[in-house]
Amino acid sequence: MSLVCSGCSSPLPAAALAARDWECTNCAAKLALTIFPALWRASPAAETGHALSSDSDAACFFHTAKRAEVACDACGRFICSLCAVELGGGSYCPACIDSGDRRAGVPSLETHRTLWDRIALAVAVLPMLIFYVTLVTAPVAIFLSIRHWSSPGSLLGRSRWRFVVAIVLGGLQLFGMVAVILGLVFAFSEARTP
Amino acid sequence: MTAGRQAAAGFAESYQRLPGRSWGLLGRTSLWQGKDHILLVQSRGYSESYRRFYFGEIQALILRRTSRSRNGALVLLGLALLLFAAALLGTSSASLLWLIPGVPIAIALVVLVLGGPSCTVHVRTAIETSELSALCRVRSAERSLARISALVEEIQGAATVADIALLGDSATTSAPPIERSRISPESSPPPLPAQHPFRRHFALFVLLLFDAALSAAQVWAPGQVVGGAAVALGLAELLLAIFALVEGRRLKLDARLSRVTVAALVYVCAAFVASWIGSIIMTMKAVAAGTLLPGTMPGPSVVPWLAELCIPISLGLGLRGLWLLRRLRSTN
């Protein structure tokens, strides 16, 4: 339960907890500590779940001999109090906690997101330095924008302006390429005609 | 509808930005305030990683002041001074080219100084102690921590003096005896090994004094022998500084002694880099002026102002280090 210095990992004395500012006696690091009641609050005893009392009781998906207490907020499975994991005001089953990263179905469990809008914008903008590459990258940028238009973006909430810009730029690049090709064809045909 | 169902249904939670952000080689880190947690976001260009710390589970917030910004500022200041001195003291107009790297370094120095002192912030929960890497400046960290503390206290309540006193008693009684003797406020730092624990530090600081003398010799009596000896001395200092730092980490030496050792290492590296660049430029100038024949190698040479600059730095570091060593030995 004791705190340690974040500089040298040596335990902080009891006096440090009462003092707002403290200088570590081991490494002389200047610390500012803010402690909260959770530091000494006892952890709740682990639930073991209740056995089925009658045939009408719903059974836990993972423990068929135990009574279901709650439904998982992500997948809807009935789970007992042993399986239920309280997180962010909801109850989740262990399977959803485990697969939260992969399924991206429960934002409060997600630890990683790919920002497709940035990727699409980069694919649309960066190849403009080498114009000929845009023949390939412009359709890719448009495809990515349309494919991932509804994919979840950043958890911090972003608008879709990057997708819009990527589609517009990709469209302009394609239009420019087609215009250049048509112009070349026209010029060649003009040159051939006597 | 519960928060979990809302989340499952795809409702985006609104986040408010907290003061403080940091940049690294791999991306940017920022801190956001959610409804019941803080969110640490590590952005790596095309993806984001998230870590959540729920207000009900935060046990402590620990801010530790560091000398990172000060050390960085000193290094940048040294480089900027070197480059500006090279630009202004040079005889030809080509020496003004030193301003090309000098000006960005000076701007970086101003930005670093305006940011204020640096720090690291750790958040402790029942499971782990994690660094809030977005909070790296004291000013913004204190603003963020004030907001986070208020939100945590809304959920947990404030820690009273009586609670903390009880906690202190239990922590003191539950600590193992060896640790208790180590953490008691009146106890001295951990005893140091009896067998010359500072010999590498001592040798380093003595060599720094020799370095000052050799730099003075380079100013007043330059020559290839003196230049070669300076290079050999610099290499010895570099190795000793590294060994001393490794030894200091093992022995958990005094923080001020460690800082002087780090400063000595930085000084030696900076002197090597500066003399290397200076030598290249001097050689190029000599070739351009026709005083150095192609195919011949110049001997160890040093830019005169660099040697002048090295005298006070090496003298100061050496004396400061020896004084600290003497004080530490008398204390123990």
Residue pair B134/B22 in contact by the 8 Å Cβ criterion? yes
- The pLDDT of residue B182: 35
Pull the structure tokens for residue A82: 């042993």
Does the CB of B324 have a partner CB in chain A at under 8 Å?
no
The model's confidence at residue B79, banded by pLDDT at 50, 70 and 90, is: very high
pTM here is 0.62
Residue pair B209/B319 in contact by the 8 Å Cβ criterion? yes
Give the whole-angstrom CA distance, residue A161 versus residue B68: 38
Q: The complex's ipTM?
A: 0.78
Buried b (16+ CB within 10 A) or exposed e, B116-155: eebbbbbbbbeeeeebbbbbbbbebbbebbeebbebbeee
Residue A9: count other Cβ atoms within 10 Å of its Cβ: 10
Residue pair A32/A20 in contact by the 8 Å Cβ criterion? yes
- Compute the average pLDDT of residues A47-53: 76
| Selected residue with higher pLDDT from B199 and B139 | B139
- Is the Cα torsion angle B305, B308, B312, B314 positive or negative in sign? positive
- Compute the average pLDDT of residues B184-210: 64
- The pLDDT of residue B148: 94
- The pLDDT of residue B303: 67
Q: Report CA Rg, chain A.
A: 30
Interface of B with A in 6-35 (CB under 8 A): 7-8, 10-15, 32
- The pLDDT of residue B64: 93
| Residue of chain B whose Cα is closest to the Cα of A75 | B8
Which contacts (CB < 8 Å, 24+ apart) does range B225-234 have? B227/B299, B227/B300, B227/B301, B227/B302, B228/B299, B228/B300, B230/B300, B230/B302, B231/B300, B233/B207, B234/B268, B234/B271, B234/B272
- The pLDDT of residue B6: 43
Q: Which residues of B touch A15 (CB under 8 A)?
A: 168, 185
User: What order of strands is seen across the sheet that includes strand B60-66?
Assistant: A21-23, A30-35, B60-66, B118-124, B129-131
Residue A111: count other Cβ atoms within 10 Å of its Cβ: 12
Q: Are A108 and B190 an interchain contact pair (Cβ–Cβ within 8 Å)?
A: no
| Residue of chain B whose Cα is closest to the Cα of A14 | B168
In this prediction, what percent of chain B has a pLDDT beyond 70?
Answer: 79
- The pLDDT of residue B252: 63
pLDDT tens digits for range B227-259: 778 888 888 888 888 888 877 776 666 778 888
Residue pair A163/A149 in contact by the 8 Å Cβ criterion? yes
pLDDT tens digits for range B96-137: 788 888 899 999 999 999 989 999 999 999 888 899 999 999
| pLDDT exceeds 90 at position A167 | yes
How many CB pairs below 8 Å do chains A and B form together? 197
- The alpha-carbon gap from A183 to the nearest alpha carbon of chain B, in Å, equals 37
The model's confidence at residue A138, banded by pLDDT at 50, 70 and 90, is: very high
Strand A90-92 relative to strand B47-54, pairing: unpaired
| pLDDT exceeds 80 at position A123 | yes
- Compute the average pLDDT of residues B269-277: 82
- Compute the average pLDDT of residues B196-217: 84
Pull the structure tokens for residue B247: 């030894």
